[in-house]
Structure 1
């Protein structure tokens, strides 16, 4: 087994690490100051656009897309260490590289399932970072962890589809640059196969009947850099039939194709979040004293740091194995491992960040350190892209099947 990065990955890592040190970390405080002065609180701070321009200049743009026609053409194994680095500053770095969700998943959907006209109209400006997008799947009235529960209707009416439903926690929808929604709903609610009842349709934001009702908070955070998370109502929204993504009844399969890469990308970035938490923990430990000696000399602190390092190394290996399987046997062949990392990574990283919070005392829960926001993000990812329990249920069934 060869654990070394290939030459291209090493070269990109070097470029990205320099970009983080020279531009991203210094921009964190600047972005906060600029955001407070924005006329529209959901708009993007000017420094973010500067970061995007610098990332493009350095050849660090759209590196998430494995399709060389649209992106860098990297494999999952090549992208993993890059995504990890961006996870150290999850509010700024992924956006700076045009590698932020939900745009990444939406670009992958359009690249894989979109028509030529859909790719020209929506994919190209997304690839250029000119617009943002949202993926409208989760609903407040049903358990959306089971996608067959979705109640939003997409009804054919002549040459149009009419979309009616209510969604919430729709990431990116508050950003004024969000111009397109990929909406999942039912075109055949009485269909015999519950996994063929759903379809996806493209709904431009300015279409009559689209109402951005309110921003949803996540552990008190509004997640401005991510474009917020909105409650959105589609009230008889009419779009051309040509706006269907793929085919009628293909929505469930497209969602699964979209969520596989999304899940591993989240886990890659989570490892970077854990690494930053460990770094902050160590810096704090060698800087602060309590009861007559440095925190670094306290046994419990040493245990926290040691256990955190072991946990991160374990997670990284599991994520890399999953990436390798996705590259070699496809997402379906890596199904068990994708579920395993989705269960293990957010849970473990949230625990590591929690230790760092504890070590920082009052500072750990405030705005002077990124730890509280990192913890909120990690904890939220135990729900996003499917809650732990859904993945545990599926993984256990697959494991038990061998013994039945």
Structure 2
């Protein structure tokens, strides 16, 4: 099996990455996708869903390690722990991982661990790396990222209220978090928590800090796991958690007090690219399911196969165009991140973050429609895929926040383009006078003029 690389970026992909990409494609198609239903069966039912770790995951992780498919997400040139791939190269791999539920975890490239490992690798000190980064990179433990809160508008992170108060050699945490992805997993041992440490700072972006909190710390209560359109995502889960006088050593502070926004922005940029490329993979798989359905000789509404109904082929064509266009948006952002870094790529990252989930949802929805009742049931992966990707329009900042910022930045060109257009119109008037002609106005009768 040979993974296809878009021609526009093929020269930027190393031979090593091309070989790895082919291995990723084969591993996902032949090992991970067939294992997805096994994973669901091993998770089981009821309360036990949060207490056991499916054996299929560890078996796949062992296979992935032997194949060299491990921690591919850390970009080279930025982290000493990197396996040597660029953001672009990993983006192409992440597309394949997005075709399977288990593939990302099997290769130790699953969220939120990827973003959390990047935080520790980029901002953590040696002791924090030894205690938490090393076991995370070895796949021995998992982690959770706690930022969103239930009682405030978390789309504006300056609203965050969880208190981080210095007390001697400790920090004391009080507050609540929800959508704490990964908190339900029994292997989750560390929370990366954003809270407010300096509420009186005049700079609203210096009030927040990020601190490491062991999952078993006294005073932490997990009240419930939140469903995503009816799916509980066990054993991973999305926890609603409270902190009551939770005490952690001052040495658990990451980078320093007031550095929360710097850390979070550094974390979210690459993570959005990872989400987007996995979404492309999900859209590709949905298109494959749709092609299978419309070519099924047993499914003949109105005595025709679905492929013989004109609107269906139009869906296929539109899906192909939309997926290919969305992929290029993401790869463009990945290339710019490689060349200039995440801070210089905010516009391109935001474009991918907004466009790709919407595109994937559209393609998946067409596949669901092609399957009819089966499409919304557990008999296909489509309903679960749609539910997971729908959350991405909220995760890492809702679409509207990114669009508002992009619109504001784009509108900064307003005065300049106005001056340009007025100048062009003035030049046109001069040329009209020079050549003694007039522009045709709306409604002008061309024959009469001639």
TM-score (norm 1): 0.97
Q: C-alpha distance in 2, partners of 1:276/1:265?
A: 17
| 1:403 pairs with 2:411 | no
Distance in 1 (CA, whole Å) between partners of 2:350 and 2:237 is: 26
Please show how residues 104-115 of structure 1 align to structure 2 within 5 Å.
Answer: 104-115=114-125
Picking from 314, 322, 332, the partner of 1:311 is 322
- Structure-to-structure mapping, 1:2-401, within 5 angstroms: 2-4=8-10, 5-36=13-44, 40-42=48-50, 43-67=52-76, 69-89=80-100, 91-224=101-234, 227-287=236-296, 288-401=299-412
Compare 286-295 and 62-71 and name the one that shifted more: 62-71
Give the match's secondary structure for 1:334.
helix
Whole-angstrom CA distance in 1 between matches of 2:346 and 2:181: 25
Runs of 4+ in 1 over 6 A off after TM superposition: none
Rounded Cα–Cα distance in structure 2 between residues aligned with 1:25 and 1:121: 33
| Cα distance change, pair 258–323 in 1 and its aligned pair in 2 (3 A) | same
Cα distance in 1 for partners of 2:364, 2:273 equals 19
SS at match of 2:222: strand
1-structure distance, mates of 2:281, 2:170: 45
Query: How much does 1:39 deviate?
Result: 7.5
- The secondary structure found in structure 2 opposite 1:336 is helix
Separation of aligned partners in 2, 1:18 and 1:344? 28
The Cα of 1:38 is off from its aligned counterpart by 9.1
Partners of 2:176 and 2:60 lie apart in 1 by 35
After superposition, the C-alpha distances for 1:180-201 in whole angstroms (9 at most, x for unaligned) are: 0011001101110000000011
Residue-by-residue CA offset, 1:205-234 (whole Å, 9 max, x unaligned): 111001111101111111125x10000101
CA distance change for structure 1 residues 206 and 389 in 2, over 3 Å: closer, same or farther? Answer: same
Structure 2 CA distance, aligned partners of 1:152 and 1:30? 39
CA distance in 2, matches of 1:347, 1:336: 17
Kindly tell me the number of residue pairs found equivalent between the two proteins: 402
Q: What SS does the corresponding residue of 1:384 show, helix, strand or coil?
A: coil
1:30–1:38 CA distance, 2 compared to 1 (3 A) = farther
Q: Distance in 2 between matches of 1:37 and 1:69?
A: 42
Q: Is the 8 A contact 1:201 1:244 kept in 2?
A: yes
Pairwise CA RMSD: 1.3
Preserved contact between residue 178 and residue 241 of structure 2 (Cα < 8 Å):
yes
Q: Deviations over 1:147-177 (max 9, x none)?
A: 0000000000011000111000100000011
1:299 Cα deviation from its structure 2 partner:
0.7
User: What CA distance in whole angstroms lies between the structure 1 residues aligned with 2:139 and 2:302?
Assistant: 52
Query: Shift of the alpha carbon at 1:292?
Result: 1.2
1:333 deviates by 1.3
For residue 150 of structure 2, give the secondary structure of its aligned residue in structure 1: coil
- 1:37/1:388 CA distance change after superposition, 3 Å: closer
Contact 1:201 1:245 in 2 (8 A): yes
- 1:43-79 CA-to-partner distances (Å, cap 9, x unmatched) read 3210011011100010000001115632312111111
The CA distance in 2 between the partners of 1:169 and 1:39, in whole Å, is: 19
In our comparison, the structure showing a higher alpha carbon Rg is 2
Deviates more, 1:188-197 or 1:69-78: 69-78
Displacement after TM superposition at 1:20 (Å):
1.6
State the SS of the aligned residue for 1:139: coil
What is the distance in 1 between the residues matched to 2:86 and 2:162?
35
Q: Matched residues in 2 for 1:133 and 1:82: separation?
A: 22
Unaligned runs of 5+ in 2: 1-6, 416-450
What is the alpha-carbon distance in structure 1 between the residues aligned to residue 407 and residue 46 of structure 2? 49
- Structure 1: which 5+ runs fail to align? none
Equivalent-residue separation in structure 1 for 2:344 and 2:212 (angstroms): 30
- CA-CA distance at 1:36 after TM superposition: 1.3
The 3 A distance-change label for structure 1 pair 16 and 56 is same
